[in-house]
Amino acid sequence: MTAAIYKHKRGKDKNGMDKILFQVRYQLYFPDGSTKDKYKYCGSQRDANTLCRRAEFLENSTRSHSAKPKELIMAQHEGLMTEEEALKFAGNDAVVAYDLKRVFENYKTTNKVSNTAYGHTINLRRADFILGWLEDYPIPTLTENDVRVFILGRLEGTLVHVNTKNGRAVEGVAPKTVRNDLEVLRAIIDEAVTLGMVANNVARKVDCPDKRKKLRRALSKTEITNFLDAAKANAHLAHGYAYYLAMIALYTGMRRAELKWMTWDDVDLDESVIKIEAKEIDGEEFTTKSGEADVVVIPDRLRALLKEMPREGRFVLGGHRMLNLENITNSISLIIKRARLPPELSLHNLRHTYGSWLLKKSGGDLKYVQGALRHLDINTTKQYAHVIIGEEDPAKGFDYD
């Protein structure tokens, strides 16, 4: 028997027309010499043609006893055979039916165990986007070239991830973002390997794009003065908290989410520290990036400002309601613009500025600055090291005298 297509009438559609279904008939040839007639219905001629070609390929491979585990897994995924039938061909090879939903559930559990709550949330957003792509590129048939197409699509903007929180989509992303996406894709496929749905992880054979390393950009003393002058002149931004926002960000190096969630209960002026720890307020949760509670030292100049600052509500920035993240970002960007500073600067450059100047003040003590910035990896802190290279650098006067 050769796979073939037959038309069948199955009642009427909503317009009273004959409803036509296309039946694909084929046969499986088992290793013990037995055969089994099989059929599957499709709603269109096009789908039936595609399925018929796959059914014919399966028919030929079972007849010649050359069906590979990967082909048997895909046959199950397409409904051309059951898992029980596949096992008759597979022998000792794993031919667990491909189930993307099951793979994802396993990924969620594994990722939650190995990450902080913050990291897990970010990875799940990436994974949701990647799952949509895997619907069109099933893991059992995924090739190294498919993975390269994924990378290229992300870099060039033909494959776009829509942010579920704000609905925005960025066309063309940085290599660092693609590297993060690729790590999540690899981890998802690792779960398919563990479950026995595929033999190996093709995504681990594809290199990530090179990370574009740039020196950390810190503000100069003049730029800091101009920035703070502009913040004071535009104090009405961020619901009237713009100057306080600018000062706290510049004098602590706190991250955006940390600034948003800071309450007066976190501020200890007697000890000159700000506590950064997980909390839940009004049904929303905040977790630290490292997963650990920590403190930030309050410099004397900032302590004086905080001491005089009016306490209108529980939140340091926002009063009775915390500022949202976009408001924080946009307010700082507008202050930078009005200070006539380079437009590529952002809130995160204030963190770089704090880290860079602290490194100078500490005499290049990377371990101290790593703790102050709460970096998990000291290699991140090392990216600030260029700021301490000055005229006194011994390598500049080196010679073989």
Is the distance from CB of 81 to CB of 28 less than 8 angstroms?
Answer: yes
Query: What is the pLDDT, as a whole number, of residue 164?
Result: 60
Rounded to the nearest 5 degrees, what angle is found at the Cα of 104, between the Cα atoms of 209 and 201?
45
Q: How confident is the model at residue 372 (pLDDT cuts 50, 70, 90)?
A: confident
Distance (Å, rounded) from C-alpha 103 to C-alpha 195?
8
H-type alpha helices, 65-168: 69-77, 83-90, 100-114, 117-136, 144-156
Is the model's pLDDT at 294 over the cut of 50? Answer: yes
192's enclosing H/E stretch is helix 175-194
Distance (Å, rounded) from C-alpha 384 to C-alpha 364?
9
Helix pair angle (347-361, 366-373), 10° resolution: 150
Domains along the chain with CATH numbers? 4-88 (no CATH), 100-205 (1.10.150), 221-388 (1.10.443.10)
Is the model's pLDDT at 212 over the cut of 60? Answer: no
Distance (Å, rounded) from C-alpha 172 to C-alpha 255?
25
Render pLDDT for 48-60 as a digit per residue (tens, 0 to 9).
998 999 999 999 9
pTM of the complete model: 0.56
Token pair, residue 48, equals 């039936």
**Residue 146: partners with Cβ closer than 8 Å, 6 or more residues away:** 137, 202
Token pair, residue 204, equals 């681990």
For tokens 């011994």, name the residue.
394
Render pLDDT for 237-286 as a digit per residue (tens, 0 to 9).
999 999 999 999 999 999 999 999 999 999 999 999 999 988 888 878 88
Render pLDDT for 130-155 as a digit per residue (tens, 0 to 9).
999 998 898 988 899 999 999 988 88
Render pLDDT for 102-113 as a digit per residue (tens, 0 to 9).
999 999 999 988
Residue type for position 173: V
Distance (Å, rounded) from C-alpha 361 to C-alpha 47?
69
Token pair, residue 241, equals 């908290």
How far, rounded to the nearest angstrom, does the alpha carbon of residue 101 sit from its chain's CA centroid? 19
3-state secondary structure of 238: helix
For tokens 């940085």, name the residue.
174
